[in-house]
Chains A and B, each alone.
Chain A
């Protein structure tokens, strides 16, 4: 244990030098580091939002909406397929999260089943070896065919919807001019948005909280919404509520003429006559054609502009609109018009997102936390160092040097792997200062015991290191297990704590067994010529003093 080959010594010294080199950038300003020559590492430790200030929003997607949309699309597809196959359909409805298709003639049921089975898409997972379809199509009693989405199919849709939503949220956040925002998926149906420096989250939440699904609908030519409320709305039509009191409810055809995803552009503008804020939009090619065809055949009749299932205006078509551009008016303020324009430009969200967790920290509090962290680390460090030197003298100094190098290692590794420092992370480092010297306490107490047992100093040191080794590994590994569990299950700041704790345990074991030991070896080598003094004070064992009998 008290021998290091030359190469090992060089490797250990080199590891310390590397640690210092990698930790250095974190102590300089970003601008300074950017100007450094290429061969010096520049990776800095990321500060978490709780230290630098900023907003953390966890968004959850309404997966029920994804299912509903899917069923709505399926309904249209099923109708079209059966129409193409010349099978008469009595009704298509949604019940129990499934589509129920009733054919006109019961004899057609088998043919319809065959047709409708064609709607199902294979869903495969190569890794899990699972394969199946996204729909279960089955025949029920009385010419009814039930089309039910499978769990795998639904999961697939949700995954797609989340990916699309992340893109949309990113575009919307970008439009606000925020640069450093991080938008990542979390779990199966969640999105985590982190915006450094943001304190007032209301505008952001407003912006990403709207689906902004714009649709243009045909208004029922003869029945008004009021009349339809008394009876049942005719098939294919639905009552849409007005966005505000002025715009009353409307009876609209459910399948829209054109959807917002066919918009080419949307800008906030002012109406040339009323000077009210409006949104000027242009359709893309196919959108313009659809809208043109529709307006050509419906001149003199109203159509409805619907946003998120609410009617925002229902103007009368005066002329066919063939150019594919138009404007939306509807009690906007400059601000809301701007916001809606951004939302329309960035595209609709596949489903509504709600904020289920929000954590906002002001930059001044973050700065205070850093200061408090520094103070407690310094004071904790000094207290631990004083204690170690008091109790173990020279070996205590070695332990303190080891602990200092341990902190350098933790910070260096964090900078290199790009993990984030949080406030609990700082707490983790302060904690590991205390734990770092634990290994040395175990070693030194063991050395003391061996000295008391009558061993020579060198033999006592040797045995102390050897015997303490197993104990140290055992005791550190258990904390390591707890750290790993925290890392897997924790989120945000807790993860930051788990990172410093687990890294800290690894580096403390390393420093206790290399740095502290190497220093001891060097110290022994330095006094080669003289008789080695015991490095620790000890009271000889009472039993040894008294001879061979125990008191």
Chain B
């Protein structure tokens, strides 16, 4: 084989960025973001979608031409069915989402009937030129259940991840990983509050996935820390963590890039239904990568780690390993 394309090794190597030494900058930034999220969630809350709030969601499309959102809003406001939100979606300008609040049941009409009547009013007001493409009606029992299930799911999966990391590493790693993970989830949720994007069931699915995915990068870093702990038994922890982060930098970033590319395609070309989902994933990948590099390891430093790894190194060190070991340990003890 004459010609062999070997790819472009564009990512900088041999970096020795002093990330751990500057940890207070990153920890400060993370705290700031977390506090901002908390404040937003407490004062503003989340823009719950129909899954969690109950009520109805109606997606409509004009048969020809565009939809005059303002005019439609005025028309629907006159129906006397409480809060009606109209939002343009898609790029063509002929699609819109209409949200009708949960209707209060009356003596004659139960929750189902009263919501159905409100939906019929909206459908009637749309006229002949606008088609209904999707209707979602969620009653109060179901929305309350979905909310509870969503919370349980997030907690259960974080707990599962905690147990797994604990089992594979040491408790310090598990706790640091879970803290970094909570950081990612919390700030992502805060972002949904800030941007006032709709928070529905698919966003919860994205958050669960992001919980599983953001830990990937953290595990890559932790794996290397463990490997280096076995290799450099006397290197100061700060230096060892720094070395591990720098060594795995290309990996941590590049794995995120590939997934981010795929999710970006979803975000740009997907329909309105999965817009929130792909945004949460995209943002989650970015914040997850950030936390794997800048947040997880500093937490590890905070808790300290066991230095005496009784197991042998992963593999009998080869010549270059041995050389590297001697060399680096010399540097470390200087």
Contact = CB atoms under 8 A, between A and B. Distances in A.
B263 A430 contact: yes
B208 A486 contact: yes
Interface stretch (A36-44, A101-109, A131-139, A368-376): A368-376
Contacts of A285: none
Interface in A452-479: 452-455, 459, 463, 466-467, 470-471, 474-479
Contacts of B137: 355, 357-359
B319 to A, nearest CB: 8
B325 to A, nearest CB: 11
A394 B261 CA distance: 20
B262 A433 contact: yes
Nearest to B137: A358
Interface stretch (B41-49, B151-159, B190-198, B295-303): B151-159
Contact of B1 (A199, A481, A501, A526): A526
B134 A380 contact: no
Interface string A375-390: 1110111011001111
B309 interface: no
Contacts of A384: 258, 261-262
B209 A479 contact: yes
B7 A360 contact: no
B305 interface: no
A387 B10 CA distance: 12
A356 B105 CA distance: 13
A424 B157 CA distance: 19
Contact of B209 (A423, A431, A445): A431
Interface residues of A, number: 103
B277 A427 contact: yes
Contact of B213 (A375, A452, A454, A479): A479
A471 B271 contact: no
B4 interface: yes
B265 A354 contact: no
A358 B153 CA distance: 23
B281 to A, nearest CB: 7
A365 B315 CA distance: 55
A486 B213 contact: no
Contacts of B271: 365, 368-369, 372, 423
A535 interface: yes
B64 interface: no
A535 B9 CA distance: 12
Given A478-B212, A490-B205, A494-B205, A369 B251 contact: no
A438 B288 CA distance: 15
Given A467-B314, A482-B209, A494 B202 contact: yes
A431 B281 contact: yes
A441 interface: yes
Given A357-B138, A434-B263, A485-B156, A541 B14 contact: yes
Given A354-B110, A435-B213, A535-B4, A445 B250 contact: yes
Nearest to A443: B251
Contacts of B138: 356-358
Interface string A442-453: 101110110011
Interface in B238-268: 247, 250-251, 254-255, 257-266, 268
B4 A434 contact: no
A446 to B, nearest CB: 8
A482 B215 CA distance: 11
B55 to A, nearest CB: 12
A437 B152 CA distance: 31
A302 interface: no
A434 B8 contact: no
A224 B103 CA distance: 39
Given A361-B133, A380-B262, A391-B10, A482 B160 contact: yes
A133 B156 CA distance: 36
B129 interface: no
A507 to B, nearest CB: 15
Given A387-B257, A427-B277, A427-B278, A479 B216 contact: yes
A539 interface: yes
A355 B112 CA distance: 6
Given A358-B136, A362-B134, A380-B264, A535 B213 contact: no
A493 interface: yes
Nearest to A372: B271
B77 interface: no
B153 A376 contact: no
Nearest to B327: A548
Contacts of A216: none
Contacts of A550: 327-328, 331
Given A479-B213, A481-B157, A485-B208, A356 B9 contact: no
Q: Which 9 A-B pairs have the closest CB atoms?
A: A479-B212, A434-B262, A482-B212, A380-B265, A434-B259, A393-B7, A475-B216, A393-B5, A356-B139
Interface of A: 50, 58, 60, 199, 202, 205, 209, 354-362, 364-365, 368-369, 372-373, 375-377, 379-381, 383-384, 387-396, 423-424, 427, 430-431, 433-435, 437-438, 441-442, 444-446, 448-449, 452-455, 459, 463, 466-467, 470-471, 474-486, 489-490, 493-494, 497-498, 501, 526-527, 530, 533-539, 541-543, 548-550
13 contacts: A58-B142, A365-B133, A365-B134, A380-B262, A431-B259, A476-B216, A479-B209, A481-B160, A483-B209, A485-B153, A497-B209, A535-B6, A549-B327
Given A383-B261, A485-B153, A530-B1, 5 more contacts: A375-B269, A380-B261, A391-B9, A435-B258, A537-B8
